[in-house]
Amino acid sequence: MFDPVSRLAVRHSRGVFREPTALFPPARRVSVVVPCYNYGHYLPVCVASALDQPGVDVEVIIVDDASPDGSGDVAEEIADSDDRISVVRHEVNRGHLATYNDGFARASGEYLVQLSADDLLPAGSLARSVALLENHPSVGFAYGYAAHFVGAPPPARASVKGWITWDGADWVAERCRAGYNVIQTTEVVMRTSVVRSVGCYRSDLPHTGDLELWMRMASVADVGFVIGTDQAWYRLHDNNMHNAVFDGGTMEGQFVDLEQRWFAFDALLSGSTGRLPNPERLAAIVRRTLATEALDRANHAYMRGFREFPVEKFEKLATSLVPTISRSSAGRALARRKKLGMSSLPVHPLWAPRGVVSRLDNRARQWRLRRVGI
């Protein structure tokens, strides 16, 4: 059923393939928290997608963070039409993390979902994740693939091919080796009791609080992945928080993302209090992973002639993570490129092969994420 590369990736991460089992009554309650700030025009279709979930008992909690665009009024109007919906309205803007945590605190279901007001849930996605969680009580949260869309969502893949489960510590170790987040958020169904046991979002991690929360949950519970389906629809638009707040895609945004990922890993590993085996070893792994990524981005800037790219900033971050990183292959490559100077061509011919390899690596990462979640 699965290609050798997918099987190898799962085996390397110490995951286990499992046969899926159907979900049977009684229906479990799932609390869907919908944080909203100026997304009132998306709310009706978002909430409808959460309520259109067979096999589970859904409650929707809309938390409006003092939106000036009238989103709170839209939320109240929607709630008046269905007693499964409740609304919390902040009198003053408290920020996205406080909004998430406020919704989490009000959840009454055995399971918990955070659904951004601009995103959607494909029909049946909650039951598919809850089935995994019900059949494997050690799993603290289950996720799947989040399909991106612009305008109207694409047809969703709805046929479950299998499940993968990981020991939580092994899943965290895989994240340390990779250095990046594999979860958008909307596609996750959490066991509420696990969220209560580890706590909610940290206020000091505005950019990568989700990554830290997933790993913190994985430090006390196992992790599951639903294979072969689209478990969420993630809407792409100019006002995505990733773009509007964190400058996603810009040169400065790349640095912020890299630095904030390190803050998330450091927050977890420095405060693991014995929950994870060998946190010092994991910290060394992720330090090298992120330091190498920082130098790879600097090398890419030289290859493409991006003269405005803050190479020194990335190099300084890499050195702060691993003082000897200049002796690595990425460090030696950067030293050579500094001597030659930045390319005046779209791609420097001497470095084009490396560029091809990097592009293939990125495509393989996306393919692997869609197939097996890592």
Domain definitions of the chain by residue range: 4-243, 247-372
Task: pLDDT band for 273, please (50, 70, 90 cuts).
Answer: low
**Contact indicator for 202, 101 with CB cutoff of 8 Å:** no
Task: pLDDT band for 368, please (50, 70, 90 cuts).
Answer: confident
Lowest-confidence pick of 72-76, 98-102, 347-351: 347-351
Helix (H) or strand (E) holding 86: strand 85-89
- Tell me the per-residue pLDDT of 102-160, one tens digit each, with 9 for 90 and over: 999 999 999 999 999 999 999 999 999 999 999 999 999 999 999 999 988 989 999 99
Question: Per residue in 312-326, is it b (16+ CB within 10 Å) or e — as a string?
Answer: ebbbebbbebbeebb
Task: pLDDT band for 248, please (50, 70, 90 cuts).
Answer: low
User: Rounded to 10 degrees, what is the CA torsion of 242, 248, 253, 256?
Assistant: 30
Give the architecture-level CATH label for domain 4-243: Alpha-Beta Complex (3.90)
Supply the pLDDT for residue 119.
97
Comparing CA positions, the residue from 115, 135, 130 lying closest to residue 57 is 130
Three-class SS state of 251? helix
Supply the pLDDT for residue 4.
80
Three-class SS state of 277? coil
Close Cβ partners of 154 (under 8 Å, ≥ 6 residues apart): 147, 233
Q: What percent of the chain has pLDDT over 90?
A: 77
**Structure tokens of 125?**
């996605």
Mean pLDDT in residue range 297-314: 91
Amino acid code (one letter) for 39 = Y
Lowest-confidence pick of 60-74, 198-212, 260-274: 260-274
Lowest-confidence pick of 23-27, 171-175, 322-326, 342-346: 342-346
Residue 73 in this model has a pLDDT that exceeds 80? yes
Residue 353 in this model has a pLDDT that exceeds 80? no
Average pLDDT, the chain: 92
**Structure tokens of 302?**
């030289």
- Tell me the per-residue pLDDT of 177-234, one tens digit each, with 9 for 90 and over: 999 999 999 999 999 999 999 999 999 999 999 999 999 999 999 999 999 999 999 9
Rg of the chain in Å (alpha carbons)? 21
**Residue 162 CA from chain centroid, whole number:** 21
Supply the pLDDT for residue 17.
94
Q: What percent of the chain has pLDDT over 70?
A: 94
Mean pLDDT in residue range 42-54: 97
Supply the pLDDT for residue 334.
94
